[in-house]
Amino acid sequence: MLVKNAAGRMIETNIAGKKVKPFKGARKYKTDSKLATLSEALKKCGLKDGQTISFHHQLREGDHVLNMTLNTIRELGIKNIRVAQTAMFNVHEPMIDFIKDGVVNRIEGSINGVVGDYISKNPLPHPVVLRSHGGRWGAVRSDELHVDIAVIAASAADSYGNCTGIEGKSAFGPICYSQIDAMKADKVIVVTDNLVDYPCRFQEIEEIYVDYVVEVKDIGNPEKIVSGTTKITEDPMKQGIAHSCVGLMDAVGIIKNGMKYQSGAGGISLAVTKYLGEKLEEKNMIAEFAIGGITKHVIDIYEAGRFKKLYFGQCFDYYSAKYLADHPGIPILNVGHYADPYARSRAVDNLDTVVLGGTEVDTNFNVNVNTHSDGRMLHGIGGHQDTASGASLTMITVPVYRKTNPIVREKVTTITTPGNVVDAIVTDQGIAINPKRKDIIEKVKGKINLVSIDDLKNIAYEATGGPQEIEFTDEIVGITKWFDGTILDVIRKVKM
């Protein structure tokens, strides 16, 4: 059929067997201002009872944005929000009141510290869902975790929503957790304390995804956003464990040109990074790259020419955030690129080795990082599962026991990372290799004296009298998911 379209042309409505729509008119487009107050933005986003609001945790203990947003939601009289933060810290203690007031009734995201302690004793009607960094990205990507409104803190943003964490007084390093929220959420709000001219120079999040831009006085407390410095452990026991890690890498033959390393930000991990740098120097080798959380220690090795490339994710100190602002062109590694289980490849799968921690380890090499031995849920999973499954040599650094508590034990309180992907337990009493890794055992023969995991457990039990029995109720506090979305373990409320 021929019809006259809005341009005055006679147009077929069916061309080569396909129905087509005639032109209806053109107009000039102008982008309406995206600037709004937080309250206006939430209302314009259609905030309703029961919705899911997401946040990133890159402002860490300095974050103002999560509390500020939930305060506003409370003022708007909205209830039963599901909070889908990437992580929560002690600064988020007001969450306890939001829960008590019914503003929040579900949490899917990592919880560290006081809020975890509270929920451990007062479970929510829906258990907390704990996922790894990659697992959370995958859950949002696959709509397992649908976000209604993503609230993204930025240390600089233009009025159309191009934004970054690299520049500004509240700089925290590249935004690397929120890309998938920006892409998948129904609505996206950027919150910044630093409105810059268009276009924002760095833009980890692009305006194409952003509905509203909210300017506030402070997105956080700069002193607590990133540590001023990240300190290497001064504890000789921990230094010893760190040296053992580097010794094991060396014995396995990993410390060579082209080595690929994941650096962590814990005290022992930082020490491992430092000692690895020294070892590279001593052997005159150049590692290919370091990924993961970046600190001054990593940059020092890079500057010394011993890491050929940096591949930045989250910055753990101010120095590294500043370094990235001053050295544009270093590729930024967002969490999807790092560990999205549904991606066509994950950066973590390149790793030769990773050094991770744990609150407990068991004789099946299962690792717990989420709960303490008293049953309280006090930590998130982070990249633990992602890197453990990606690295060729996954090392867990723990003391065999802490005071009266055996860390190496028969059964971890909660499984965070299954023993199948854990290769070595590096302790103050020796190194145990997962018997499944015959290749590693073969390589270190004659170079390192290994101990069995049962021996480590026995040492722990002898020194402490064994683990304290805890009685659990049926109530579920939280669940740990493997990054494919399946349930690894259930965290139950302790009988009080």
Residue 250 neighbours by CB distance under 10 Å: 18
Q: What residues between 153 and 192 interact with a copy of itself by CB under 8 A? A: 160-162, 188
Closest contact distance (angstroms) between CB of 123 and a copy of itself is 10
Stretch that binds a copy of itself, among 37-45, 54-62, 94-102, 481-489 (CB under 8 A): 481-489
Contacts of 458 (CB under 8 A, 6+ apart): none
Closest contact distance (angstroms) between CB of 168 and a copy of itself is 15
Cis ω before 467 (30° cut-off from 0): no
CB of 267 closer than 8 Å to CB of 356: no
Nearer of residues 269 and 366 to a copy of itself, judged by Cβ:
366
Nearer of residues 7 and 237 to a copy of itself, judged by Cβ:
7
Closest contact distance (angstroms) between CB of 401 and a copy of itself is 23
CB of 109 closer than 8 Å to CB of 86: yes
Q: Does 285 bind a copy of itself (CB under 8 A)?
A: no
Stretch that binds a copy of itself, among 22-30, 169-177, 246-254, 270-278 (CB under 8 A): 22-30
Q: What residues between 264 and 283 interact with a copy of itself by CB under 8 A? A: none
Residue 86 has, within 13 A of its CA and on its CB side, a CA count of: 30
Nearer of residues 79 and 308 to a copy of itself, judged by Cβ:
308
Nearer of residues 29 and 469 to a copy of itself, judged by Cβ:
29
What are the structure tokens assigned to 329, written together?
């062109």
Nearer of residues 65 and 166 to a copy of itself, judged by Cβ:
166
What are the structure tokens assigned to 33, written together?
């201002």
Nearer of residues 210 and 248 to a copy of itself, judged by Cβ:
210
Q: What residues between 412 and 431 interact with a copy of itself by CB under 8 A? A: 415, 417-418, 420-421
Closest contact distance (angstroms) between CB of 56 and a copy of itself is 19
- Cα 329 from chain centroid (whole Å): 23
Measured CA to CA in angstroms, residue 128 lies from 88, 120, 482 at distances of 12, 10, 14
Distance CA 49, CA 394 (A): 43
Distance CA 135, CA 114 (A): 24
Q: What residues between 29 and 58 interact with a copy of itself by CB under 8 A? A: 29-31, 34
Stretch that binds a copy of itself, among 234-242, 271-279, 385-393, 426-434 (CB under 8 A): 385-393
Distance CA 231, CA 233 (A): 6
Nearest to 155 by CA among 84, 218, 69, 61: 218
Distance CA 320, CA 299 (A): 7
DSSP code of residue 359:
S
Q: What residues between 306 and 365 interact with a copy of itself by CB under 8 A? A: 308-309, 311, 328-329, 331, 333, 336-337, 340, 343-350, 364
Nearer of residues 225 and 339 to a copy of itself, judged by Cβ:
339
Q: What residues between 355 and 374 interact with a copy of itself by CB under 8 A? A: 364, 366
Distance CA 353, CA 386 (A): 12
Q: Does 470 bind a copy of itself (CB under 8 A)?
A: no
Closest contact distance (angstroms) between CB of 71 and a copy of itself is 26
Q: Does 22 bind a copy of itself (CB under 8 A)?
A: yes
Distance CA 85, CA 377 (A): 16
